[in-house]
């Protein structure tokens, strides 16, 4: 039997009151992946993570975690750890008391993992949480999530308060735990370079839509950085999409989305780094990876119209 996806979203839409946050989001994350969730401020990352762990229910579509609806299902609650963006902890509890609470609330809890990690990080067990630094508090919250030994760990900007060395350590610990237990990790971050080093799957949100979702190798193989005479742009095959384009005089630089590079040998073609792909999509929030009704839209003066998904305002017309 085929393995169930760790996370499956089908046509998910969500509004906070009258504010649309997510539209028609579909994605499937195989188990065991470390997923980087990227997108500009307000793109809908936190909303998406809250839907995954059942803190919100979709207005439209379906969310499934290992084939089941999240939120309220005890069989799933035990298998999922969630670290919210503000990393809520009880300030008056000491670190040791916080870990004791974790042990009482979670059937799969590992004291060894918690003690080893906190000891290695030099976080004093007898110190009340409110007297820790912001970064130390983050580490206590991350340790709580890890010691729960979940099958799915969902982390909303876990690296934000940490110095570069600690960020690296957190990612190493997550990868080690994933390798050991087969756990799936979904984490949002703005630090693209670190995600490129450590994640093997990428979800890119722009303006409430999934722009890109897939394993890093697939994402890289589906994009080409083109450089050449701007006059060639009009003759690019229809099978591809210009995600982002720049023009300097008669020279054009493009990120081209297609299974294969264009046949014209006058294009200089290279495989772009994930960071370059992410940046191109961040600059073009209307560009979409999913099959959508085609619209013609001008991306850059002098360049031919490209296919993009409708923007929210266009769709609501």
Ligand X SMILES: Nc1ncnc2c1ncn2[C@@H]1O[C@H](COP(=O)(O)OP(=O)(O)OP(=O)(O)O)[C@@H](O)[C@H]1O
Q: Footprint of ligand X on this chain (CB under 6 A)?
A: 16-17, 19, 21, 39, 41-47
CB of 19 to ligand X, least distance (A): 4
Residues 285, 143: Cα–Cα separation, whole Å: 35
The residue among 43 and 243 lying less far from ligand X, judged by its C-beta, is 43
CB of 304 to ligand X, least distance (A): 31
CB of 138 to ligand X, least distance (A): 15
CB of 15 to ligand X, least distance (A): 8
The residue among 43 and 123 lying less far from ligand X, judged by its C-beta, is 43
Q: Which two tokens stand for residue 20?
A: 């649309």
The residue among 99 and 309 lying less far from ligand X, judged by its C-beta, is 309
CB of 103 to ligand X, least distance (A): 31
The residue among 20 and 128 lying less far from ligand X, judged by its C-beta, is 20
DSSP 57: -
Residues 10, 24: Cα–Cα separation, whole Å: 8
Taking each helix axis from N to C end, the angle separating 111-121 and 164-181, rounded to the nearest 10 degrees, works out to 160
Query: Helices H, strands E: what count in the chain?
Result: 10, 15
Residues 150, 13: Cα–Cα separation, whole Å: 27
CB of 41 to ligand X, least distance (A): 3
Residues 99, 54: Cα–Cα separation, whole Å: 24
Q: For residue 230, how far is the Cα from the chain centroid?
A: 34
Start-end of H helices in the chain? 45-52, 74-77, 95-105, 111-121, 134-147, 164-181, 192-198, 216-221, 274-283, 312-316
CB of 49 to ligand X, least distance (A): 8
For 312, residues 6+ apart whose C-beta sits below 8 A from its C-beta are 20, 23, 207, 208
Dihedral, CA atoms, 193, 194, 199, 200, nearest 10 degrees?
30
The residue among 16 and 108 lying less far from ligand X, judged by its C-beta, is 16
The residue among 39 and 102 lying less far from ligand X, judged by its C-beta, is 39
The residue among 18 and 104 lying less far from ligand X, judged by its C-beta, is 18
């Amino acid at each position: 039997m085929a393995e169930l996806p760790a996370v499956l979203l089908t046509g998910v839409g969500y509004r906070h009151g009258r504010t649309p946050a997510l539209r028609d989001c579909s994605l499937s994350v195989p188990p065991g992946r470390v997923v980087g969730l990227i997108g500009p401020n307000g793109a809908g990352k936190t909303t998406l993570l809250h839907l995954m762990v059942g803190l919100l229910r979709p207005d439209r579509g379906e969310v499934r975690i290992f084939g089941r609806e999240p939120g309220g299902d005890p069989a799933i609650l035990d298998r999922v750890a969630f670290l919210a963006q503000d990393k809520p902890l009880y300030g008056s509890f000491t670190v040791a008391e916080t870990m004791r609470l974790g042990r009482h609330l979670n059937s799969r809890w590992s004291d060894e993992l918690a003690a080893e990690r906190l000891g290695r990080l030099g976080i004093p067990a007898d110190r009340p949480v409110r007297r820790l630094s912001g970064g130390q508090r983050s580490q206590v919250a991350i340790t709580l999530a890890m010691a729960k030994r979940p099958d799915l760990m969902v982390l909303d900007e876990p690296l934000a308060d940490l110095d570069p060395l600690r960020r690296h350590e957190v990612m190493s610990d997550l990868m080690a735990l994933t390798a050991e237990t087969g756990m799936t990790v979904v984490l949002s971050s703005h630090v693209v370079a670190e995600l490129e080093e450590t994640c093997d799957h990428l979800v890119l949100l722009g303006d409430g839509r999934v722009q890109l979702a897939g394993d890093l190798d697939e994402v890289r193989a589906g994009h080409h950085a083109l450089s050449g005479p701007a006059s060639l742009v009009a003759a690019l095959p229809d099978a591809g999409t210009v995600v982002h384009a720049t023009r300097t005089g008669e020279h054009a630089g493009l990120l081209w989305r297609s299974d294969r590079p264009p046949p014209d040998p006058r294009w200089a073609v290279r495989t772009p780094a994930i960071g370059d792909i992410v940046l191109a999509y961040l600059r073009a929030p209307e560009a979409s990876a999913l099959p959508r009704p085609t619209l013609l839209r001008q991306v850059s003066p002098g360049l031919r119209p490209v296919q993009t998904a409708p923007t929210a305002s266009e769709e609501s017309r």
